[in-house]
Chains A and B, each alone.
Chain A
């Protein structure tokens, strides 16, 4: 599966469009991480636990999108966009969408 966030795949030709595919996940952080983050909020700096959590969730959202594209028979997803929204206190939704295509 080839993924890009531009309209084409350089060096390849698009032969078929399958329309939009998307994947999303809503994640909450667990209490242990919250306590560590609370401490980090005093001294500042990177919250590594949160970075990893969000990366894992985003990977899962992308896997869901790729699965959907595979079901269509696509072998690439172009024009991918990411969106993040906090749906409620302590939970965020990670959403990824793009256009499924077949390239040769």
Chain B
């Protein structure tokens, strides 16, 4: 009985705190993405024109470690029974990627374009949950920020 109470409390805590945190995070991501629209990040390395005059080129990176909430973890566990797309993990990873790219862009400051964007994802720390699920993931984005000569 006691176990059940703990389970239900964790579940509802995860559900409410988790969804509040997620919607708040998405709002902040969307706002900052709009602000940084004038600094494009491209995966191509040879994006610049031949005659472009470059003032500065440097490596920029941004990273974030993000954790899933208890409710979603249980939900994903249930999903394992039926198969199919695991939406709860999808939003977790989507948030982390977009946050990492945003941090990278913020580090680039006054640059004009970010070339050769690479995004890397790795799983860290399975300790919080003994089952073999993703406890938390790290996403890192990096690229070369190029500043062009102002015409």
- Say yes or no: B72 contacts A44, CB within 8 Å: yes
A10, CB-defined interface residue at 8 Å? yes
Chain A 70-96: CB-based contact to B (< 8 A → 1; otherwise 0): 000000000011111110011010000
Complex interface: chain A residues within 8 A of B66 (CB): 44-47
- Say yes or no: A37 contacts B125, CB within 8 Å: yes
Given contacts A6-B116, A41-B68, A45-B67, is CB(A80)–CB(B125) below 8 Å?
A: no
Chain A interface SS verdict (over half): mixed
In the bound complex, how far is the Cα of B144 from the Cα of A101, in angstroms? Answer: 16
- Say yes or no: B136 contacts A47, CB within 8 Å: yes
Give the shortest distance, in Å, between B72 (CB) and chain A (any CB). Answer: 7
Give B residues with C-beta under 8 Å from A.
10, 13-14, 17-18, 21-22, 25, 45-46, 48, 52-55, 57-59, 61, 63-70, 72-73, 92, 99, 115-116, 118, 120, 122-129, 135-136, 138, 140, 142-144, 146
Q: Enumerate 17 A-B pairs (CB-CB under 8 Å) in ascending A order.
A: A10-B54, A11-B57, A37-B125, A41-B135, A42-B13, A43-B18, A44-B92, A45-B66, A46-B66, A47-B67, A58-B63, A58-B140, A80-B142, A82-B142, A85-B122, A90-B125, A92-B124
